[in-house]
Structure 1
Amino acid sequence: MPSLYSAPVYWNEQQYLLSFYDPFTFRLTISLYIAGISLIPSACSAPGCISNYYPDDRVHIFRVPENPPELKQAWIRALHCDNIDRLKVVNVCIKHFREEDVEYIHKVPNGDGTFTSVPRYKLKLKGGAIPCLLPGCPSYYSSTSTSKRARLSYEPKEKEMLNQTIQLLSKI
């Protein structure tokens, strides 16, 4: 019987097996890592979500964007998680995005100026997409409106207009 704690078993310097026993679900989770890269996707960091915790539940995840910083802060606010800065890597699964926020098709240009549509192997988020669906949380955590995205995209323009107005008023 495996230990209740995480116990790595080394085969060589490049490859090891990490297993741990979860006393809450009574499941043994085994992850295989090769050269520091996980072959099993990371778990979702959204509150109440257990996507990618177990091998039978695998979904696509997206890493929280680092740039621009406003978008990163919008993601953190949307997740309603105060201690998320403590995590080394923050991932959010596809279950927390609307269908229109995810690009499933990649358009490849042909030589004659037309495009061929090909399904994406690695899904991509559209610019400014923010996680807005939190099924494991109270309903007021989730928002299906686009107001956050609109506010995020127009905020720099409003600041610029405000700065210009202040400069004009200071000249008077």
Structure 2
Amino acid sequence: MGKFEISVPTFKQLPRFDSRGTAIDWDTTFSFSTTMSRGRNCFVPGCTSGNPNKNKANKERGERNPSLFKAPNDPSLLQQWQKAIPRSDKTLSSKDAVCELHFLDEDILTHYEIKLTDGTISRIERGRPLLKEGSIPRIFPNLPSYFSSNKRKRKPPCVRSEATEKVSNSKKVKGLPINHVENQTSEPNFENENEILRDITNVPVDVTDSRVTMFTNLKK
């Protein structure tokens, strides 16, 4: 018989499942107070997440209630949360919570990812979403748009080739104004009066021509 291998994930990779078969994150299970928050309303003004009546209505409609994330204990990160959330009547503390609706999708982990032996990645849905470390609330749909700061990562600068440079330069040249210069005949440049007299005496003159003008009393 041929040999075959079975890859078993390590203990840290294995999710825990509840009685309904839903995967539960180990971190959120054993350190629940530092990641999730129960029995609290969202601290953001105008948000109703965590409200008992709202939770009951969502449950009756079969909708999932937004997860609440506890404010960080780190003073520096907590201060960033306080500056990001526009609320003047109360200051955010580490005991307050903010729901997932105010974070970017990329800041929230919703699945486990396990790499299999064939190179493919198996994704298992988490029982509770997990907030990435260092994330800051940035989205406030119930407030004016200028309070939200949906920052995206900048794309890396493209490599400019020689052909690209030529095309770019040609576009710049086309945009420049063109000054039309008329053809001009060059005129003799006489440095002194002697050259003028010498040039006149060397030119044959038809005395019968009435258009000839006589120059007299020219001083050399």
The yes-or-no answer on 1:56 pairing with 2:62 is: no
1:114-153 matches, within 5 Å, as 116-146=122-152
Alignment check: 8 A CA contact 2:109 2:129 kept: yes
Q: Which residue of 108, 112, 131 maps to 1:106?
A: 112
Three-state SS of the structure 2 residue aligned to 1:56 is helix
* Structure of larger gyration radius: 2
Alignment check: 8 A CA contact 1:84 1:90 kept: no
Distance 2:109 2:94 in 1: 26
Three-state SS of the structure 2 residue aligned to 1:71 is helix
Q: Which amino acid aligns with 2:128?
A: K
Q: Which residue of 84, 96, 108 maps to 2:102?
A: 96
Q: How many angstroms does 1:77 deviate by?
A: 0.9
Distance 2:76 2:96 in 1: 16
The yes-or-no answer on 1:65 pairing with 2:72 is: yes
Q: How many angstroms does 1:107 deviate by?
A: 2.6
Distance 1:61 1:106 in 2: 19
Q: Which residue of 48, 73, 82 maps to 1:76?
A: 82
> Structure 1 segments of 4 or more deviating over 3 A?
108-116
Instruction: Tell me the number of residue pairs that the alignment of Structure 1 and Structure 2 aligns.
Output: 108
Gaps of 5+ in 2: 1-37, 59-64, 154-220
More strand by share: 1
Q: How many angstroms does 1:42 deviate by?
A: 2.0
Aligned position for 1:46: 44
- Give the TM-score of the pair, scaled to structure 2: 0.42
Three-state SS of the structure 1 residue aligned to 2:111 is strand
Q: Would the alpha carbon gap of residues 94 and 135 (structure 1) be closer, same or farther in structure 2, given more than 3 Å must change?
A: same
Distance 1:132 1:88 in 2: 18
Distance 2:115 2:152 in 1: 31
- Give the TM-score of the pair, scaled to structure 1: 0.53
Q: How many angstroms does 1:89 deviate by?
A: 2.4
Aligned residues: CA RMSD: 2.9
